[in-house]
Amino acid sequence: MTDEATLAWYEREAPDYTARGPQGRSHHLDGFLARLAPGSEILELGCGGGRDAAHMLGCGFIVDATDGTAAMVSKARDLRAVPARQMRFDELAVEAAYDAVWAHASLLHLPRAALPGVLVAIHRALRPNGLHFANYKLCDEAHPDEGRDLLGRWTNLPSPEWLEDAYRNAGFTFVERERYPGSGRDGTQRDWLALTVQRIV
């Protein structure tokens, strides 16, 4: 993420967030991993306390777990022995380095204007036929545009059409879409969109 107030919130709230938040792996993770060859190299953007990274490592994948805050990196290391490192989304600058990029409930914290550039960087970081997963809170009548949630974190709140156009423009091909109801840390109920996309070339 790039919003300083959001980064500061995760830095400050890391102990409570990792203690009180979900402890099991994300429910989309196993389906995503089933699409990958054994031993694939996966970049995780926004690893938090390391719950998904630990599961991926346990399944035999090579995982580069990253988070924008030092506190979350420490939690991933201390709680789950995940060798995480600190990196903001806008610092991703590698080419054809990964077979997959996993970004569960993380890219939604980017300002919307910054998201297309990060998607291009993700596309560049993937090897040909590499896969990327991300999920986003969607806009609705009560929250028609991006802004801060009840906890002060930035949320980009795109429409499905805007989001899918951003992925197409970054060069991705769609593999799977799922729209579903859910809530975030602040308890606000809204629809989410989960996307699995692929870099073909």
- Give tens-digit pLDDT for 144-189: 789 999 999 999 999 999 999 999 999 999 999 999 998 877 778 8
The predicted-structure confidence for 81-100, as pLDDT tens digits, reads as follows 999 999 999 999 999 999 99
Q: Tell me the CATH number at 119.
A: 3.40.50.150
Q: Output the average pLDDT for the chain.
A: 94
Q: Report, as an integer, the average pLDDT of 41-63.
A: 97
Residue 142 pLDDT > 80: no
**Neighbouring C-beta atoms of residue 29, cutoff 10 Å:** 18
Dihedral through CA 123, CA 108, CA 8, CA 2, nearest 10? 40
Given a contact cutoff of 8 angstroms between Cβ atoms, the answer to whether 103 and 119 are in contact is no
Tens digit of pLDDT for each residue in 24-34?
A: 799 999 999 99
The pTM assigned to this predicted structure is 0.95
Contacts of 183 (CB under 8 A, 6+ apart): 189, 190
In the predicted model, is pLDDT for residue 112 greater than 80? yes
Q: Given this model, what pLDDT does residue 50 score?
A: 96
Comparing 70 with 182, which gets the higher pLDDT? Answer: 70
Q: How many domains does the chain have?
A: 1
Q: What is the span of the domain harbouring residue 175?
A: 4-198
pLDDT at 23 over 80: no
Q: What is the mean pLDDT of residues 101-122?
A: 97
pLDDT of residue 1: 63
